[in-house]
Amino acid sequence: MINNQFPSQHDTPEDVALLIAIEAAKQDISGIKNSILAFEELLKQHVSSYIIEAQELTVLYKSQKKAKRQKRLAQKHKGKHYTPTNSPELVTATSTQKKEDNAQQLALKKQLYREAMLQVHPDKFSLSPSEQESATEITTQLIHIYKNESLTALQNFHAQIFSDTLDLKLNKTELNSTHINKTKALQTTLKTLQKELETLKTNTLYHTLNTYSNPLQFVDELIMYYKDKIAKLKKRTRSKN
């Protein structure tokens, strides 16, 4: 993308028109982004704790289902005389957890996990599919480390997240414009901005802002949705907390 976006006396009428269109597109994009980001901040303040709790319960539910499947498979292999016992994996995990983690360490792990999850949650990157996909991969890795690895591993990953050393593919789109003229570069720039503007207008939060007369109504609906989801997950996992 070319650096100088201001018309000059050497620009052709076509270039001037393109520069004006580019500036208008930039302003539209900036306005929509600001609206969405402000709404995301509002959602974060009211809904983030419910999202994290639902995420944690979902992981727990999946792990319980996996354990049950493994137990049923073991029983099938053993036959009718099979006597249920804890699998070596569960015994090892439990033993290791007791030795490695005391109450204070568990509390610290949970704190680090929550902080990191809020920092890289995919919903924060809803404006860019590539960023959101990358954030999803990182949160998956974060959940795995939180559930299966040591406090030290979680601390290291937490530090990576907050030092921005993880690749969230932010603004990685490259434009090879070394050998093209200014008009061509402006046309490509405008096309890129128009595509970004179209994508922003399909954003769920932008649609919500333009659909609800009062965005707080959507916030309340979202809270009710997550409360219901959490209640169902607690029932499935028999979790009281």
Q: What percentage of residues in the chain have a pLDDT greater than 70?
A: 75
- The per-residue pLDDT for 170 is 41
Domain that holds residue 212: 29-169+192-237
Better pLDDT: 25 or 83: 25
Number of structural domains the chain divides into:
1
Candidate from 14-23, 34-43, 169-178 with smallest mean pLDDT: 169-178
Identify whether 14 is part of a domain: no
Instruction: Tell me the two tokens of residue 221.
Output: 């609906």
The DSSP annotation for 161-221 comes to HHTT-S---TT------TTS-HHHHHHHHHHHHHHHHHHHHT-HHHHHHHH-SSHHHHHHH
- The per-residue pLDDT for 33 is 92
Candidate from 1-10, 13-22, 140-149, 220-229 with smallest mean pLDDT: 1-10
How far is residue 48's CA from residue 42's CA, in Å, rounded to a whole number? 10
Identify whether 100 is part of a domain: yes
Q: Maximum distance among all alpha carbons in the chain?
A: 91
How far is residue 61's CA from residue 65's CA, in Å, rounded to a whole number? 6
- The per-residue pLDDT for 75 is 78
pLDDT tens for each residue of 30-88: 999 999 999 988 888 898 888 888 888 888 888 888 888 888 887 777 765 555 555 55
Q: Is the pLDDT of residue 23 over 90?
A: yes
pLDDT tens for each residue of 122-133: 777 766 777 778
Region 229-240: mean pLDDT is 85
How far is residue 200's CA from residue 31's CA, in Å, rounded to a whole number? 11
Identify whether 79 is part of a domain: yes
Identify whether 217 is part of a domain: yes
Q: Is the pLDDT of residue 173 over 70?
A: no
- The per-residue pLDDT for 227 is 92
0.85 exceeded by the pTM? Answer: no
- The per-residue pLDDT for 100 is 53
Identify whether 179 is part of a domain: no
Identify whether 12 is part of a domain: no
3-state secondary structure of 218: helix
Identify whether 206 is part of a domain: yes
Identify whether 77 is part of a domain: yes
Better pLDDT: 238 or 123: 238
How far is residue 229's CA from residue 239's CA, in Å, rounded to a whole number? 13
